[in-house]
Structures are given as C-alpha cells and as structure tokens.
Amino acid sequence: MDFLGRDVISIKELSKDEITSILSFAKKMVPYAKGEQQTTILQDKVLSVLFFEPSTRTRLSFESAMNRLGGRVIGFADPSGTSQKKGESLADTIRMADSYSDAIVLRHPQEGAARLSAEFATHPVINAGDGAGQHPTQTLLDLFTIKTEKKKIEGQNVVLLGDLKYGRTAHSLAYALAFFGANLTFVSPESLRMPKEVVSECKEFGVEPVNTSHLDKAIKEADVLYVTRIQKERFPDPEEYNKVMGSYRVTCELLKNGKEDLIVMHPLPRVTEIDPEVDATPHALYFKQAFNGVPVRMALLALIFGRKTL
Amino acid sequence: MKELKITPIKEGTVIDHITAGNAVKVLHILKIPETTTSVVSVVINVASRIGKKDIVKIENRELDPKELNKIALIAPKATINIIRDFEVVKKSKVQLPREVFGILKCPNPTCISNAREPIESRFYVISDDPPRIRCYYCEREPEDVVDRII
Ligand SMILES: Nc1ncnc2c1ncn2[C@@H]1O[C@H](COP(=O)(O)OP(=O)(O)OP(=O)(O)O)[C@@H](O)[C@H]1O
Ligand SMILES: [Mg+2]
Ligand SMILES: [Zn+2]
C-alpha cells in the first residue's frame, strides 16, 4: 500500500485494501487525536488548508489533525482576504500554495476544483469537498465510525435518510457502503430520491437498495440510521417542506421501534432533523462521528507523507 | 451511381457514412462555409448498404485531429477518405480516443472547467456509438452530447 504523494480526490479511487488500511491506521491515531499520547511524525511538514467556502468542522478537524501530528498549517478559512477576489485563477493560487507547503487541503464551491488543483500542484491534494461533488474524507470518517461501532461494515443494515438527491454525502456513502457489502435502505421524500446513477453503482456491487418513504418501517431492522439535512430551498412550497420535516424527524419515540444498539449518525450541522432529546441516548453517535474526523484525517495525512508508523 | 451526380474532386476529403441527417452538423463544426472558398458538396439521405447516410465532400481540405474527434461524436460510423488526384489514397474510420480535450463544453454551470482557468475541457469517452462521455472535472455525464460540441 503506497500512499506517498497520492492525491485524494474521490473515494472511488481508493481500493478496498487501501480504505481498510486507512481505517486501521486511524484506529491507532485515536489516543493521539485525543491528546492522550503525543507524536511529532509530521514536524517537518507544512500543510496548506485552503477553504474557498466556509466549513467549520472539516477545516478545524484537518487543522487539528495536522497539529496533533506535530505539523504546521497555513491557509485561509474564506477567500475574502485573498487575491481570488482580485480575479486570480484557482490554478495560480494552487501553484503558490504548492510552493509554500508540502500538501494542500482544498474546499471549493465548484465541482472538479480539487481535480484541477491536483493537475497544477506537485504535492498531494486532498479534496475537502468540491461543490456538489466529492468529499472523500467525510466518507472515510463515516466508514470508520460504522466499523468502530459495529466491528464490520459488511452485512450491516444501513438506512440513509433525508435529501438523497442533492446530498453529496449520501451519494459517496451509498457507493462506499455498497462497495463493502452493507444492506442499504434509502428513505426520502419522493422528490428527493437517490439518483439512479448512484443506485446502479450500488447494484454493480451486488447490493439491491430498497427505496421507501416510510421511516417508521425502515428503522425496525436498521443497525445504522444515517440522517442528512433537507434544505428548505429544495422545496418551492414551504408547506411541503414542513410536512416532510415533520415526518422525518428523528425522536426518542421513533427510536423505540428500532434495535437497541441502533446508532444514529449525521454529518452535521443538524437543524431540526434530530430532536436534541436523542443526544443523551446511547443511539446518538453524531458527536463521536465528528470527532472521528480527526483520527481519520491524521491517518490520511501521515500516509500521504509516507509515514506508516507512529 | 447516384453519388456521381456530384463533380469529382481533385484534392480533398470525402466524409462518408455520416449518420443520416447529420451532415449539416458536420459542416457546422468544420465552420463551413465561413472558412472555405473551395467547393463543398453535400448529399443528404442517400441510400447505401447501411441504410440512409449523408456524405460531405470538401475540396482542398484535410481535417485535424480535433475535427476528426468532433465528427466521431456526431457520426460514429463516418469514414474519412483522403482524395489525391481524383483517387482515394487513404481511408479510415473515425475513432474516438479514450479522452477528448477541448472539443466539448460541460453543461454543468458550476463545473470548474467553465470557470476562467488555464485548462481545456476534458471528457472521458465511455462509449463510442452512441457516444457517451463523462466530464473529467465534475464527473457528470451530459446526455445531449452533440449539442455540447464547441
Ligand atoms: N475524386 C472523388 N471526388 C469525389 N468523391 C469521391 C472521389 N473519389 C471517391 N469519392 C467518394 O468517396 C467515397 C469513398 O470512395 P470509395 O471508392 O472508396 O467507395 P467505397 O468502395 O464505397 O468505400 P466504402 O467501402 O468506404 O463505402 C465514396 O462516397 C465516393 O463517391
Ligand atoms: Mg460505399
Ligand atoms: Zn464538468
């Protein structure tokens, strides 16, 4: 497995073995991510973290990951103070950051931005989300969370809930879960169904996803309930939005119909999809999931710099 | 010999076996008549052994690789005949490469290939006939391929 110098643009470019080895290295990172143990394996490295679009969680967890490994971070959290505003191309910004650092983490509102950046950078580029496109480290941390809680991904009954049409998190995760042989149920309003390309990708891995609008039934056999945000803008009629939000709200009442060890995940930020009363139950995994972003990104950073041991 | 209703050309290119009805699109991407003063003959819906087809005959012109790729998208079964001194001296079928550069525009408005960046558009060719393509940058698959040709 050689990750040294690799770009990480899409989850689809990683093999099963590669994903598995990232996840097992991430497991070793947990005590370091918590600050219980210390390491300086990346003390000679500088990471550019370039966020052309705001995102608290992803940016902070990348920065924390680099710091926990003893490395240093440069970059910006939104492009307002940069020469992008003066009309500089992304390619030129990347060339510059590439010369100032040893790797680049990029969040950008346009699809394909990370792919383009990788063409202009000599150092590795990690895609931290490109518009409605890919966000591979989110998928990795989701897989890590399921694997850590459930021991394996294969055979788990996973329910994906919410905006499955536009949500990139849901698309990449469905692909990756099917890749690892999980059983998938897609719960969404009719107008926000999983795109057919994603469904046929799942089928190529021998997984037959079930499509339904009924959360209460789907939850009965579920091992994992993965909740995503439904954006109000997707609905021309606010009445319709309120109706959908009402029927897909995850509450303690709803979870009573599920298995005892059902875990509830969410990429966050959540709005009203999950009732705060769920937070105190053992089902609530979303905060731990958010923390998992740190060890997973630590593992990935260490590996692209060729550091396989702590 | 219906085809010989047309005056033979001495030097040039005959694009044969064009999908019936698509000759005008072929002329469009070759920027004909804007960029030529030579004779161009067009036959539309002529009967042939593969059913109806169109033919375009252009005097004093050879096609560059980008033009050939565009023709392959419009007319996957086209044959390119190079004419020298009234004879066919070279005949080849159009063949799409695995990737095409700079001949299509991605229909996704938020694709980075549509921003002001120093790159050409880039598409993977998923299938030749009918042509199916996927944007290298945003990974979308436009359905109306011919309408995306630049
Ligand atoms: N000098 C010429 N001027 C104009 N058209 C020509 C000339 N020579 C050949 N052609 C045309 O070029 C095409 C190819 O000619 P060719 O003699 O190879 O025909 P063919 O044997 O039917 O080829 P194919 O097997 O590709 O169908 C035909 O459409 C023919 O009419
Ligand atoms: Mg013939
Ligand atoms: Zn595109």
Would you please indicate which residues of A are annotated as catalytic (active-site) residues? 57-58, 86, 107, 135
- Of chain A, the percentage scoring pLDDT greater than 70 comes to 98
**Side chain identity at residue A247, one-letter code:** S
Q: Is A183 helix (H, G, I), strand (E, B) or coil?
A: strand
Q: How many residues does chain A have?
A: 310
For the beta carbon of residue A253, count every other beta carbon within 10 angstroms. Answer: 11
pLDDT the model gives residue B12: 96
- Of chain A, the percentage scoring pLDDT greater than 90 comes to 83
Domain boundaries, chain A: 11-134+292-304, 137-289
Pocket of ligand 1 from Cβ distances under 6 Å = B 3, 8-9, 14, 16, 55, 57, 79, 81, 83, 86, 88, 91
Phi and psi at B87, nearest 5°, equal: -110, 150
Compute the average pLDDT of residues A272-290. Answer: 97
Determine contact: A197 vs chain B, CB below 8 A.
yes
CATH superfamily, with its number, for domain A11-134+292-304? Aspartate/ornithine carbamoyltransferase (3.40.50.1370)
In CATH, the number for domain B9-93 is 3.30.70.140
Q: Is the pLDDT of residue A199 over 80?
A: yes
Q: Is the pLDDT of residue A271 over 90?
A: no
Integer Cα distance of A48 and A206 in angstroms: 39
Q: Is B145 helix (H, G, I), strand (E, B) or coil?
A: coil
Distance from CA of B146 to the nearest CA of A (A): 21
Q: What is the DSSP letter of A42?
A: T
Which CATH fold topology does B99-148 show? SH3 type barrels. (2.30.30)
**Do the domains A11-134+292-304 and A137-289 sit in the same CATH topology, yes or no?**
yes
The answer to whether A92 touches A117, Cβ cutoff 8 Å, is no
Q: Is the pLDDT of residue A81 over 70?
A: no
Determine contact: A67 vs chain B, CB below 8 A.
no
- For A225-240, the three-class secondary structure string (H helix, E strand, C coil) is EEECCCCHHHCCCHHH
Q: In the block, which residue shows the tokens 């959908």?
A: A244
Domain boundaries, chain B: 9-93, 99-148
For the CA of B48, the nearest atom of ligand 1: 27
Q: Report residue A62 CA to chain centroid gap.
A: 12
Peptide bond into B8 cis (omega under 30): no
Peptide bond into A209 cis (omega under 30): no
Number of Cα atoms under 13 Å in the Cβ half of residue A244:
23
Predicted TM-score of the model (pTM): 0.91
CATH superfamily, with its number, for domain A137-289? Aspartate/ornithine carbamoyltransferase (3.40.50.1370)
Distance from CA of B140 to the nearest CA of A (A): 9
The answer to whether A110 touches B110, Cβ cutoff 8 Å, is yes
Candidate from B6, B7, B16 with most ligand 1 atoms within 8 A of CB, to mutate: B16
Quote the longest CA-to-CA distance of chain B: 52
For the CA of B16, the nearest atom of ligand 1: 29
Confidence at A267, pLDDT banded by 50, 70, 90: very high
Q: In the block, which residue shows the tokens 């079964």?
A: B77
Integer Cα distance of B19 and B23 in angstroms: 8
Residue numbers of B between 64 and 93 with CB closer than 8 Å to A: none
Integer Cα distance of A142 and A176 in angstroms: 10
The answer to whether B108 contacts A133, with C-beta atoms less than 8 Å apart, is no
pLDDT the model gives residue A87: 83
pLDDT the model gives residue A85: 66
**End-to-end CA, chain A:** 17
Of A87, A109, A112, the CB nearest to B137: A112
Using the mean position of ligand 1's atoms as its centre, give its distance from the Cα of residue B82 in Å: 9
Integer Cα distance of B120 and A211 in angstroms: 39
Q: What is the DSSP letter of B8?
A: P
| Interface confidence (ipTM) of the complex | 0.91
Q: Is the pLDDT of residue B2 over 60?
A: no
Residues of B in contact with A132 (CB under 8 A): 110
Residue of A nearest to B135 (CA): A112
